[in-house]
Amino acid sequence: MTAEVVTATESTSLQELVDLMSKHGIKRVPVVRDGALVGIVSRADVLRTLSKVFQAQASYGIRSDAEIQRDVEAELKRAECFRAELIEVSVEDGDVILHGCITDERERSAVRVAVENVPGVQAIHDHLTWIDPMSGMALLSPNDQAAEQTSKVKLA
């Protein structure tokens, strides 16, 4: 038990989780959303993920950004639970950057799963804006909302 709990969010990268575990000498990191516990990541989870990455690299070799982008776009088109034509994909050093729109907040998770399953993807940077088709209200991605809040704090 520790007095100061180290937590992560759903968008925390694998590298950041490894760094947290190493820096703080911990075996598990709680995952929180809006202050509520939504999961936990253990060292065993990290090792399983790394094992999958190494297996994928052995199967596919080191993949170029163009190959990853092509496969991500194909995977998004294959999924039928969101409109892939509203999502723009770019890849930089294996990191997938998503811009565009979703029309149901639940689509964000589906997009994420589709992208995560593409070999060579190192991280996902979600900049998808949710637009409610009934009201026209637009909400930024959780990452963009956090960045906007941080910039407002810096300006104050």
Task: Give helix 43-60 / helix 14-24 axis angle, nearest 10°.
Answer: 140
Domain residue limits, the chain: 1-61, 63-155
- Which tokens hold the place of 127? 């900049």
- The 10 Å Cβ neighbour count of residue 18 is 16
> 55 pLDDT exceeds 80?
no
Amino acid at 18: V
Q: How many residues does the chain have?
A: 156
- The 10 Å Cβ neighbour count of residue 77 is 12
pLDDT, tens digit (0-9, with 9 covering 90-100), for 77-114: 998 888 889 999 999 999 999 999 999 888 998 899 89
pLDDT of residue 96: 96
Question: 143 — alpha (psi -120 to 50), left (phi > 0) or beta?
Answer: alpha
Q: Which CATH class is domain 1-61?
A: alpha beta
Say yes or no: domain 63-155 is CATH 3.30.1340.30: yes
Cβ-contact 105, 137 below 8 angstroms:
no
